[in-house]
A and B are shown apart, each in its own frame.
Chain A
Amino acid sequence: MVLALLGWIDQPRKFRVDPAITAELDQIRLMPNGIGGAPPEIDFALGQPYENDSYNLSQGKRLYTWFGCSSCHGDGRGAAGPSFLDGWWLYGPEMVSIVASIRDGRPHGMPAFQNRMTIEQIWQLAGYVQTIGAYRAKVSAPSRNDAKHTRPSENRAPAAIIFDEGPVGVDPEQGPNP
């Protein structure tokens, strides 16, 4: 009963985060090879909203179409660009890596979106991209598609084996091969 009431309470929504927080979000510390690193303290202080919060994931989903991600990455299965749901992460599945990929670009054609998106949008989009290819189903999910699904939905578990078998034993969480 209490839980139901708690769920009913609407989450307060900020359409624009404070400039101080945006400045902090930009301060990701990447490893020298550009893979992995430490997220800014503010991400933990806020409770990692860009990975765990349905609103931000939904915003990321909208940004995915608005900024033309699908022209290279398709519906998440990849085309000219790599796939997000085959279980392979070229730069790792950490938020910092994905944020860095979007913000600064990567070799072989990934453009930098630094001047086209705000850092908050980049974090939202990164959270969504991470969700597409998550090994474990997240508790929160972005809104469902209005159109027909062309691939497994974002909040299914585990990503890779449903769609693309991939190499055996990439992650023990993937379970046995189908």
Chain B
Amino acid sequence: MGLFAVCLSGCNGTQSALDVHGASAIHLKHLMLLVIWVCALVWLTVMVVLAYALLRKRRVAAEVNAGADNRATVIVSAAVGATALIIAGLTVASFYTTRLIDGDGDAAMTIAVKGEQWWWRVTYMRDGTPDFETANEIHIPVGRTVLLQLESADVVHSFWVPSLAGKQDLVPGRTNTLALRAETPGVYRGQCAEFCGIQHSHMAMSVIADDAVSFERWLADQSAESLKPAEPEATAGQAVFLGKPCAACHRVRGTPSAGTTGPDLTHVGSRDTIGAGLMERTRGSLAAWIADPQTIKPGNNMPMVPLTSDELRAVSAYMESLK
């Protein structure tokens, strides 16, 4: 019983297909439970019949008559018929669920999500054109359908936020779509569900469902240019950021930096994690990441940049100030 409780404790939380908060995930959970209960019932029936067959008294051959043969034929035929019916029924239920979760006709907004080794590039679209870019954190308004356009820059990735929707692959050279709709506000963790290289396990993202007011506020904050550094240390950090190779790959809108290879850092200080869900975003973790990205996340596409300790302190202060 204790073991059972321990196993079940994995079913709750921010990343669980059984702890559902999204329209698609609710349909999928219903389908899952239907299949599980039907199969459990069938299994129980088979076990009961098997137990009966094992335990009943063995009859001698002479007692077996034509009537018993006929009865066996009827029972077996009925079982085969029931099997066909159950499988057909489950197939229909599965098709029906697929149709339910495909609905994306009245999407409130479109977000382009590009899988890259090993992070998620998130571009919010406005009237079909890119509005602003962020990374690894997708804010959506609660109770509205949001259409995700899923693309890949390199290899096949898969977008999976179990609490909100099923998996959808990101395939290089094509655009897949996924409708997301969160019914309750909250933070839902997701991660890449298709092996995509050495850091596949560190390619997480979170979907944050906000109520209408905070979502609008977040949207306004994010589409604005970066804040001007207020403290002298952060100002020095901005100079280092622009003078060193950082700006060749990263962009901070409102400064001359225009790199597009790495994540947009315009509002990196407002994100909860860095390195695609690898570490909590603190000034310390930012500094550690910049100081030695290859030891923290081996194989990722950020090279170590030679910085003195003062430069490192300044840059991390600047990153932290980019709220």
Interface string of A94-115 (1 = CB under 8 A from B): 0000000000000000000001
**B245 partner, pick from A16, A67, A146, beta carbons under 8 A:** A67
A72 proximal to B (CB < 8 A): no
A117 to B292, CA, bound (A): 13
Q: How far is the CA of A146 from the CA of B305 in the complex (A)?
A: 25
- Give the chain A neighbours of B303 by CB distance below 8 A: 62-63, 66-67, 117, 121
B236 within 8 A of A: no
Q: Which residues of A38-65 have CB atoms within 8 Å of chain B's CB atoms?
A: 62-63
Interface residue? B301 (CB, 8 A): yes
- B245's nearest neighbour on chain A, judged by CB, is A116
**Whole-angstrom CA separation of A16 from B303 in the bound complex:** 11
List, in ascending order, chain A residues with CB within 8 A of B292's CB. Answer: 15-16
The answer to the question of B98 belonging to the interface, with a C-beta cut-off of 8 Å to chain A, is no
User: Is B228 positioned at the interface, with any CB of A under 8 Å from its CB?
Assistant: no
- Majority secondary structure of chain A interface residues (helix, strand, loop or mixed): loop
Cβ of B154 under 8 Å from chain A:
yes
Q: Which B residues touch A115, using CB under 8 A?
A: 244, 306
Beta-carbon contact of A62 and B306 below 8 Å:
no
User: Contact at A16–B306, with CB atoms within 8 Å?
Assistant: no
Within 8 Å CB of A169, what residues of B? none
Sample of 9 more A-B contacts, CB < 8 Å, known A117-B245, A118-B304? A15-B295, A15-B298, A67-B245, A68-B248, A115-B306, A116-B244, A116-B305, A117-B306, A118-B305
CB B135 to nearest CB in A, in angstroms, measures 18
* A binding-site residues for B, Cβ under 8 Å: 13, 15-16, 62-63, 66-68, 115-118, 121, 146
CB pair A16–B295 under 8 Å, yes or no, is: yes
A118 to B53, CA, bound (A): 76
Whether the Cβ atoms of B304 and A121 lie closer than 8 Å is yes
Q: What are 16 A-B pairs with beta-carbon distances under 8 A? A: A15-B294, A15-B295, A15-B298, A16-B292, A63-B303, A66-B303, A68-B248, A115-B306, A116-B244, A116-B245, A116-B306, A117-B303, A117-B305, A117-B306, A118-B306, A121-B304
Q: Give chain B nearest CB distance to A79 CB in angstroms.
A: 19
In the bound assembly, the distance between CA atoms of A63 and B303 in angstroms comes to: 8
Chain B residues within 8 Å of A63, by CB: 303
The reply to whether B305 and A66 form a contact with Cβ atoms under 8 Å apart is: no
Complex CA gap A66/B305 in Å reads 12
Which of A15, A16, A118, A121: most chain B Cβ within 10 A?
A: A15
